[in-house]
Amino acid sequence: MIMATREGTTPDERVERVERVDQPTTTHSAPSADDGGDRRRRMEQAERPALLRPTSAIPYPLASRAHHPAKSVVQVGDALIGGAEPVVIAGPCSVESEEQIHESARAARAAGAQLLRGGAFKPRTSPYSFQGLGLDGLRLLAEAGQAAGLPVVTEVMEPGMVEPVAALADVLQIGSRNMQNYPLLREVGRSGRPVLLKRGYAATVEEWLLAAEYILVEGNSQVILCERGLRSFDPQTRNLLDLTCVPLLARLTHLPILVDPSHGTGRSDLVMPMGVAAIAAGADGLIVEMHPNPENALSDADQAITPDVLRVLVLRAQAVRAALALAV
Ligand code: PEP
Ligand code: MN
């Protein structure tokens, strides 16, 4: 656990605070609101390593690349998210039945995906829409992943459910609607599981990185960012996929970045081109919705690709990554 203290806190006060917490703790100071600009104090501070000190230029010291130049790699099973190969996570929007999720898992594996996705707790816009199978769905997902040899990613929507979900899932997804649910961010920060943090659909890059900081500050360094499209004025697509943020984030943060062209476009015919474009922009991988029978999907049917399309997408992602690795 990392504990933030205000600037001006004395070393003794810091030790006292640390002693009150029974976990290993690193201390760092944040500027106080009434910082009057004491020159000597500023000079002392400049001599200290800048590490872990939020400033107005870098309010997210733990997520910042300036403080952590080496790129972070999050390992899940055999997959290295942020490593040399693009990682593709695939599976249905929702776990619907035992047969559906096992078929999806086998298809994802055969197509070359490295992780299986599937929602058990679904954040649906309407309370009358299919809400997911809950814990039963989670168990089915975990069994299907195990049978196919794929780690699983699933969304957790409330702090009280983090523990049971973390017991069965390899990666905890924070959905777009919950990116700024701070109690939830803190709880997944304490879970010890890798976290896939989706961008809020109206969140700035800075708000997103500060959300990541909430998880990091709890001592969980396994944070993966995921761009999934922003609310826009044009109803032609479900969202506007912001690929500009991909190379921008590579400058701002050491955290790996995935792109979700399924929610990002809302149209199955746009998943392939935008998935390829995301890898070309430098994304570390993709998370896509794939269903054995897209037309029958209980949620997000319009954006589900088939296993055959997924197979080609994986190959193209690898080819684009290889092209980017060519020396200039
Ligand atoms: C999902 O991945 O199923 C999902 C609901 O995504 P988002 O939070 O990006 O809408
Ligand atoms: Mn979905």
Q: Report d(CA 254, CA 174) in Å as an integer.
A: 19
pTM for the full model?
A: 0.86
Ion ligand 2, residues whose Cβ is below 5 A away: 93, 300
Residue 91, helix vs strand vs coil: strand
pLDDT single digits (tens) 172-204: 999 999 999 999 999 999 999 999 999 999 999
Residue in this structure with the two tokens 């656990």, named with its chain if needed: 1
Residue 88, helix vs strand vs coil: strand
- φ/ψ region of 8 (left if φ > 0, alpha if ψ in -120 to 50, else beta) reads left
Per-residue pLDDT at 56: 85
The CB of 176 under 6 Å from ligand 1? The reply is: yes
The CB of 228 under 6 Å from ligand 1? The reply is: yes
* Widest CA span in the chain: 68
Q: Report d(CA 118, CA 95) in Å as an integer.
A: 5
Q: Which ligand is nearest to the CA of 260?
A: 1
The CB of 291 under 6 Å from ligand 1? The reply is: no
The CB of 157 under 6 Å from ligand 1? The reply is: no
Q: Which CA distances in Å does 196 have to 90, 106, 150, 153, 180?
A: 14, 23, 16, 8, 14
| Position 214 pLDDT exceeds 50 | yes
The CB of 199 under 6 Å from ligand 1? The reply is: no
Q: Which ligand is nearest to the CA of 229?
A: 1
Per-residue pLDDT at 24: 34
Instruction: Tokens for 174, please give them.
Output: 């924070």
